[in-house]
Chain A
């Protein structure tokens, strides 16, 4: 019952919603308006971006209020959020994930590593940026990008 007391005392943690960002372009984006299920793929990241994604869905930023939800299976996903430079081990897996998702499937390249391999460019295990393997619809710069930027990018997909 102390939990109920704590809930009542803490109250609302979520910060007020920033103004609606600009909608991303594309016919596929129109199809997912209002509801975006996101499947995260770690293609070789250092986990910095994962922490920020975790924060984006935490009570403070609360991405769920815009209709964005994380899902476990790519079959349930409308968008793939890919972090990290694509390593040689994960190249095939990334392609398979994209193939497994039903059309239309959007791809968000999150972080500098996903855009152009960032500080790992030229590493022996790195196969290339995400756009070399799957078509990218939205890029989110930053190393790591702040949770507000992540939320804004995803809101650009959902339109809310």
Chain B
């Protein structure tokens, strides 16, 4: 019973928190730039307004363009149901592991890239091409980091990895764990389209990766796509936090534990989001053809993490 509550409650919590996280990050950015900022609730106001506007489909687009936003949100919701964000006892958590979660993330990316190609515009194709190149190069880092983590826990199941972190905290500060954290952090930046890989606030189409794919979306389609992007960021930051700093995650059934878990998740997202936003003010975007070098560096870190987990075990 409790497991199903977690499986349904986590997606709902992520849906509510994700735009707030974006608002919080924009607020931090604004304050650091000397501006006043729009307030933490602005993304929710934007989404509410977008949901009430008419959606537009390009004349040459087919069913893929219309289907991609719901599929994108569906993958995010499914990952939110599976991943141990608030508790490790989700009823859906026993049906998919870290590799399946990585695969679901890639499925969402593919849906959006195909929709961008379906528009028949040059920017859509450009965004899709760049996004798929970056996604292809992020895959090895993600899976090798998953390897390093599961070597620590003896299983690729997310719940098992988080449980191992809770019960054996000394393993969290091992070299393998720290290297894997660094590698995963870079991979998360690349996957969610944040600096230094992609600037989410840019207006220059030729520098866009993720934004170029959504230039044709309007109205409620755009609302779904923006919500999905916010959810992916929240999910990945939450996973990053819980895989390497699992304190507060509920490991047993019990409503008190769930409340603590939800509060811990909010604190972790606030911290990580703040750090990320501050980093975005201080960092410049890396040139597109330098991104493979960055991703190769994170791949080397992940490979070192795996080697360290075997050699130093």
For the complex, count residues of B whose C-beta is within 8 A of A. Answer: 33
Q: Which residues of B contact A72 (CB under 8 A)?
A: 202-205, 211, 215
Assuming A7-B32, A17-B36, A65-B37, is B222 touching A34 (CB within 8 A)?
Answer: no
CB neighbours (8 Å) of A75 from chain B are 56, 215-218, 222
CA distance A70 to B31 in the complex (A): 19
Which of A3, A11, A62, A100 is in CB contact (< 8 Å) with B282? A3
- B57 → chain A closest CB, angstroms: 11
Q: Which residues of the other chain, B, contact A64 by a CB distance below 8 angstroms?
A: 30, 35, 37-38
B219 sits at the interface (CB 8 A): yes
In this complex, the interface size class of chain A, counting residues with CB under 8 Å from chain B, is 20 to 34
User: How far does the Cβ of B253 sit from chain A's closest Cβ, in whole Å?
Assistant: 40
Contact of A35 among B31, B34, B42, B54 (CB under 8 A): B42
B49 touches A14 (CB 8 A): no
B39 touching A65 by the CB < 8 A rule?
yes
Chain B interface mostly helix, strand, loop or mixed? loop
B293 at the interface (CB under 8 A from A): no
A12 contacts B by Cβ under 8 Å: yes
Minimum CB–CB distance for B265 against chain A, Å: 27
Task: Give the docked Cα–Cα distance between A73 and B202 (Å).
Answer: 11
CB neighbours of B38 from chain A (8 A): 64-67, 69
Would A12 and B36 count as touching, CB distance under 8 A?
yes
How many pairs of A and B residues are in contact by the CB < 8 Å rule?
89
Chain B, range 198-220, C-beta contacts under 8 Å to A: 202-205, 211, 215-219
| A25 on the B face (CB < 8 A) | no
Interface of A is mostly: loop
CB <8 Å contact, A103 and B46? no
A73 — which chain B residues lie within 8 A by C-beta?
215-216
In the complex, whether A32 has a CB less than 8 A from a CB of chain B is yes
Closest chain A residue to B222, Cβ basis? A76
Interface members, chain B 44-84 (any A CB < 8 Å): 45-46, 48-49, 52-56
Once the chains bind, are A103 and B54 in contact (CB under 8 Å)? yes
Given known A-B contacts A35-B45, A73-B216, A75-B216, A10 and B34 have beta carbons under 8 A apart: yes
Which has the most chain A C-beta neighbours within 10 Å: B31, B36, B52, B217? B36
Given A70-B203, A75-B222, A102-B56, A11 contacting B46 (CB threshold 8 A): no
Verify if A78 is at the interface (C-beta below 8 Å from B): yes
Asked if A87 is an interface residue, CB under 8 A from chain B, the answer is no
A35 / chain B contacts, CB cutoff of 8 Å? 42, 45-46, 48-49
* Chain B residue at smallest Cβ distance from A64: B38
Alpha-carbon distance A73/B215, docked complex (angstroms):
6
The complex places the Cα of A4 from the Cα of B283 at a distance, in Å, of 12
Let me know if B34 and A11 touch, CB within 8 A. yes
Known contacts A7-B34, A14-B36, then 7 further A-B pairs from the complex at CB < 8 Å, ordered by chain A residue: A12-B35, A62-B37, A65-B35, A75-B215, A75-B217, A75-B222, A76-B215
Footprint of A on B, CB under 8 Å?
30-39, 42, 45-46, 48-49, 52-56, 202-205, 211, 215-219, 222, 281-282
Residues of A within 8 A of B (CB): 3-4, 7, 10-14, 17, 31-35, 37, 59, 62, 64-67, 69-73, 75-76, 78, 100-104
> What 6 A-B pairs are tightest by C-beta distance, nearest first?
A13-B34, A75-B218, A34-B45, A102-B218, A72-B203, A65-B36
